[in-house]
Amino acid sequence: MIRRRVVSDYLVPAATLLGVLLAWEAATRAFRVPRFVMPAPSAILAEGWDWRYRFLGHAWVTLYETLGGFALSIAVGVPLAVLIVYSPVLRSALYPLIVLAQSVPKIAIAPVLLLMVGHGEFPKVIVAFLVAFFPVVVDTATGLAATPPELLDLSRSYRASAFKTFVKVRLPMAMPFVFAGAKVAITLAVIGAVVGEFVGSDKGLGYVILSATSYWKTELAFSSMILLSLMAIVLFGAVSLVERLVCPWLVPTVDE
Amino acid sequence: MIRLDGVGKTYRTRRGDLVHAVEDVTLHVAENEFVTLVGPSGCGKSTLLRLVAGLTPVTRGTIAIRDEPVREPFADVGFVFQQPVLLPWRSVLDNVLFSVEMLGLEPRQYRKQALDLLELTGLAGFETKYPRELSGGMQQRVAICRALLPDPSLLLMDEPFGALDAMTREEMSLELLRIWEERRKTILFVTHSIPEAILLADRVVVMTPRPGRIARILTVGLPRPRTMEAEFDPRFKAASEDVRGLIFARRGAR
């Protein structure tokens, strides 16, 4: 049983990936595809290895922008959701604004932001935040509103204060929703940081992709992209791990 | 202990229509009495429970508990709903302690009593389990323990066994009776199961819908403690025919 699971969960996808890479390598060699059109996986790997020390610095910048934007999206998004759920006036005041902010293409905001707050990492943090905060607000608000009415009645029948009910019932009840939003937000924050870097920067993995393509160094752009995906996967995994630590009741103790 | 006099509750729906959920209900419940409210959906029995709990204000009439008019929830009451609504992140023991915690009492001082209650309801050994590891019936037992822990003199139960399968349901009714024999309190119990209403009650309040009002109050003369055998007693059969007659006669007339 366990062996079958290892095969289906790890070996099959690993073999598929390896097969795709081999086919890719073979195709680029067989058809003599120019490396600036489609580099072979081996060339991408070699270029990435050459760049390993320089990548470290760029990856750090992008990571820092992503985490900054993500942290802001949680710090702003969760309280905003609380306000929306608790106050009907604020809900009608804020909700249209939030939806409006969401509907503006972030790639269009980025150059304007750069004008407003100047260069450096900060505007990228803001772009990452703007891209990431919407799912946090919506999911947290949904979670807070989903408290079973019986639990709210129960709290009221014990004459518990609204604050106590929030801390002991509503917020923990909404935690799975907050994490659902956070998981979407962390991957969006990576996109936001790269979009910010595209618009104007001299550091970061997004900058590396942009400058590599302008010099026809497609292998470098590819290795930078792979690094970005790896970063997004690791960050997503980290949020999932925190979720397991914060909400252990969501993880089944017995494997069914 | 509880006095409802000429109680009425009128809702306004979103479309602006008036709904008379409860009309002209007068009911006096004695200390430690077990009263069941039975009737079809929409007869206002759950609304009545919420009114007594002070969760919604009455439109007309008065409700008093120990001569104290009910204007807001009061601390000396326990509530059990159709769904157990436990907190999924808390262990069984911590779920039971939730009630005293919300009441602003010190949970540590109630640990022993909470464990005793779990023992009484056959949940000993499950203290550290999460609710989702428990069956529906066990979860509802936890909800009952939670309601009983502050030792309220009044217990309001809104179809507490309605979501359980028929076999668990019978078992739970008998168990509730056993608990009640051991720790007497006044119980107001809403159900739409006629046998359940009769098996449990000292008095059965039969209600009819639109508007929700009392059709009749029947006194159940069956001896206590009651067992499943009570259902074969001719008095049980007579009572259930009475209740059935009251509920369905009205439907037939329409």
- Is residue B139 pLDDT above 90, yes or no? yes
Helix extents (H) in A31-170: 41-50, 52-86, 88-103, 106-117, 122-145, 149-157, 162-165
Instruction: Specify the pairing of strand B2-12 against strand B213-219.
Output: unpaired
Q: Return the pLDDT at A106.
A: 79
Residue that is written with structure tokens 């209900």 in the block: B25
Checking if the pLDDT of B149 tops 60, the result is yes
**Does residue B166 or residue B129 have the better pLDDT?**
B129
pLDDT at B183: 86
State how far the alpha carbon of A176 is from the alpha carbons of A102, A163, A179, in Å.
23, 20, 5
Average pLDDT of chain B is 90
Q: What mean pLDDT do residues B142-150 have?
A: 94
Q: Model ipTM?
A: 0.86
pLDDT, position B164 = 86
Q: Which pLDDT does position A256 carry in this prediction?
A: 40
Report the share of chain B in percent with pLDDT over 70.
98
> What is the DSSP code (8-state) at residue A62?
H
Which residue on chain A is closest to B100 by alpha carbon?
A158
pLDDT for A254: 47
User: Which positions ≥6 away from A141 have C-beta within 8 Å?
Assistant: A81, A84, A85
At residue B20, the pLDDT reads 87
Measured CB to CB, residues of chain B less than 8 Å from chain A are: 50, 53-55, 72-75, 77, 79, 81, 83, 85, 87-89, 98-99, 101-104, 130, 132-133
pLDDT at B250 over 70: no
Contacts of B79 in chain A (CB under 8 A): 153-154, 157
- Is B77 close to A154, i.e. CB distance below 8 A? no
Candidates B73, B88, B98; nearest CB to A249: B88
The pLDDT of residue B14 is 83
Q: Which residues does chain A have with pLDDT short of 50?
A: 254-256
Classify strands B60-65 and B34-38 as parallel, antiparallel or unpaired: unpaired
A160–B104 CB contact, under 8 Å: yes
Give the per-residue pLDDT at A178.
Answer: 95
Rounded to whole angstroms, the maximal C-alpha distance in chain B is 57
- Position A252 scores a pLDDT of 58
Q: What is the DSSP string of A164-193?
A: HHIIIIIHHHHHHHHHHHHHHHHHHHHHHH
Q: What is the pLDDT of residues B64-95, one digit of tens each?
A: 999 999 988 888 899 999 999 999 999 999 99
